A and B are shown apart, each in its own frame.
Chain A
Amino acid sequence: MKNCRFSTRLVVLLLTSVALLGSCKKTPDGPPAVGTVSFAIENMAGTKAVALDGTAYTTAGGETFTVSTLRYYISNIKLLKNDGSSYAAPSSYFLIDVAKPSSANFTLGNVPVGDYTGASFVIGVDSTATKADPLQLTDALNPANNMYWVWSTGHIFMKLEGTVTSTTPNKALTCHVGGYRAPYSAIVTATPPFNGTTLQVRADHAPQLRYSADILKLFDGPTKFTLINFPTTMMPSAASVQVANNYAAGMFAVKNIQAN
C-alpha cells in the first residue's frame, strides 16, 4: 500500500516536473543551471595512506598500530557561500570503505551553479535516517553493509578496527562510534576550511574537492587518547562522543580544489 502511495506521489512529481520543464523552455532564462561536484577522499594515518595490509602507523605519542577495517559515513553535504546562503544536497549518504577504493570517490549532481567558499558534512548519519525502518534502508544505509547496530539500533558512523602493535602482547583496536540519543549523540559535523579557494560550479565543468582524512586524529584532538588505554567503544557512550568530537575537529582537511 505504501508503495502505491509513493508511486502516486512520484507520478505527480514527475508530471509536475515535466510541466515545469516545458514551461521553462518557453522562457528566455531556461532551466536553472546546475553542475556537478566530485569528491575524493584520501584516507591517511599521518603521512602514510591507510592500507589494510598490515602496514604499521605511528601515533603522535609514538605508539604503533595496524588497520584491518576502516569504514565511515559522510552525509548531509552542504555547500556554503560567502553571503551565508548554502546548498544542501538531498539524500547524500556515502559509505567510505578502505576495502573498496572506489568508495573514496563520489559525485553530487544537480548542484546549482555558483561560487562556493566552503563545504560541511556530517561524519555519520543524521538521526532521521538512522531511526528509519531498517527494512526500508537501501544502498549506503542498508543494514547489510555491516555498519548497523541492531542493539540500541542505528548506524555505526565510524568503524576502525586493527591491532595495537606497540604493546606486548598486541592488543585489539576496536572503535565503533555511533548513537543519536542524548546524552551520547555522536552525530558530528566537519567544516574543513577551503583556505580562500573558491569552488566554482558551472554547467560545463565539474570541479573536484579533494580531502585528506587522517585517522590519527581519532586519538588526538580535544581529547587525547593513548592506544594502550583507548576504550573499546562498541556502544553509544561518553568515550564514543569524545572520539567523534576528535574526528570532527581535525580528521578532514581540504587538500586541493580542482576547477576542471
Chain B
Amino acid sequence: MLLRTLLLALRRPLAHWRLATVVVLGGAVAGSTNCRQVAGPELAVPGTTQPANFPAMVYGLAQNLPDAATFELGRALFYDARLSSDGTISCGSCHQSFAAFAHPGQALSPGVGSQRGTRNAPALQNLRWRRGFMADGGVLGLELQALAPLTDAHEMHLPLADALAKLNADPAYRRRFAAIYGPGPIGTPQFLRALAQFTAALTSANSRYDKYVRHEPGGTLAAPELRGRALFQAKCSGCHATDLFTDESFRNNGLDRTFARDSGRAHITARPTDRGRFKVPSLRNVARTAPYMHDGRLQTLAAVLAHYDHGVQPSPTLDPLLRPTGGRLGIPLTALEQADLLAFLNTLTDTDFLTDARLAAPKQTE
C-alpha cells in the first residue's frame, strides 16, 4: 500500500517476531509434553477452539495467533485503570467477567468523572464471530473496537497517543511487549493486537443448552425448557438466529416512536430508514446481563418479554417481524409461554465462562 507503511513493517517485522515466539514456545511445549504432560501455552489461552455448534470464526486464530504471553498481556491491559484519563476506569470496570462482561445493575455505566453516555455496556462474548461492533455497528473490527471506549469522553477518555505514552513509560509493559513483538516503542498495532488477544478469548460455548445440542454429558433440558426452546425457535429465532443467538442485523424492536436521543444505526449510515435500528444482541448468558436494551431501560427478562407481548411502539422503521398482518404489534405470548421462554433462556447461562479465573482480573503481583 503506502511506502511508509511498508518500510515501517520491514523495520518492525511484527509477524516475524510473533512467528519466532510461537516457534520457541512450540519447542518448549514439545519438550515439556514429552516428560511432564503439562498443558501447552495454546491450551492456557481460553477460547481457541471452534465450538461444533458455532459458525466459522470471523476473526480467525491465524489473524492474531493466540499465545499465553500475549493473552496475559492483553488481560493486563483490559484490567488496567491507568488506561483512562484519571486512572480510575479500566475496560473491566464496565465489563465484569461474572456477568459475561456486561455491567450488572448499570443502565448507563459511569466513565471518568462519573460521566455517562447513552448506551448500556454490552456483554463481551464470542467476539471472534462478530462483524460490526457497538449497537450501531459503527466499529468494523475487533482490534479497532477498543479505541472507542478508550477515547470516548464519557468512558475512559484517553487519546491513543497518551495511552501509548503511558505504556511506553512503564518498564514492565516495555519488557512484556518487547518479548512478544521485538524491541522498539509500543505502537498502535502492538497495543491493539495484544488487547484483542484477550477480547477474542472471551468465548462462551459451554452452557447446558450447548451441551444439549452437542449431545454432551450434562446436556439435558427439562420439559418447560424444551417447550421454551420450541417457542423460541418459532417466535424469536428470526432475529436471535444460530447458536450465537443473533443474526448480526440492525432492527427497530419498537422501544420508542421517535429517536431524537439515539438514532441507532442511522447515526452511522445517516439513512432515515436506519433510524431506531440497533444491533440484535446475542442472548447467551442473558440471565446474567441485566439491564437490557441498548440503553438499559428494562431491568428484567420478564420486562423484556412483556415488551414484546404488549409494549411495542409503532414507528416507520419498526421491524416487519413485529408487525404481523392483521394482528397487533409485537409477539403475543401467554403467561405460560413467557415462563417457558424464561426457563429456556436460563439454559444459556454458561457457568464455566462466568467463573473462568483466566478471564478475571489478574492478581496485582505478577
Contact = CB atoms under 8 A, between A and B. Distances in A.
Taking residues whose C-beta sits less than 8 angstroms from the other chain, chain A's interface range is 35 or more
A139 B143 CA distance: 19
Interface in A91-142: 91, 93, 128-129, 132-139, 141-142
A80 interface: no
Contact of A135 (B15, B136, B144, B267): B144
A150 interface: yes
A148 B159 CA distance: 10
A198 interface: no
A146 interface: yes
B4 A134 contact: no
A121 to B, nearest CB: 16
B192 interface: yes
Contacts of B193: 135
B164 interface: yes
B10 A7 contact: yes
Contacts of A145: 161
Contacts of B144: 134-135, 143, 150, 153
Contacts of B13: 3, 7
Interface in B136-192: 136, 138-141, 143-145, 147-148, 151, 159-161, 164, 187-189, 192
B325 to A, nearest CB: 34
Given A90-B3, A134-B144, A144-B160, A1 B15 contact: yes
A235 interface: yes
A235 B268 CA distance: 8
Contacts of A90: 3
A152 B268 contact: yes
A160 B2 CA distance: 27
B1 interface: yes
B4 A139 contact: yes
Interface in A169-207: 183-184
A208 B8 CA distance: 28
B5 A150 contact: no
A19 interface: no
Given A2-B15, A150-B151, A136 B189 contact: yes
Contact of A137 (B5, B6, B15, B161): B5
A145 to B, nearest CB: 7
A10 interface: yes
Interface string B41-65: 0000000000000000000000000
The 9 closest A-B pairs by CB, nearest first: A151-B138, A135-B189, A150-B147, A144-B160, A150-B148, A144-B161, A138-B8, A91-B3, A91-B2
Interface of B: 1-6, 8-10, 13-16, 134, 136, 138-141, 143-145, 147-148, 151, 159-161, 164, 187-189, 192-193, 267-268, 270
Given A10-B10, A132-B1, 16 more contacts: A3-B14, A6-B6, A128-B1, A132-B2, A134-B143, A137-B5, A138-B2, A143-B160, A144-B160, A145-B161, A146-B160, A148-B160, A150-B144, A151-B134, A151-B136, A235-B270
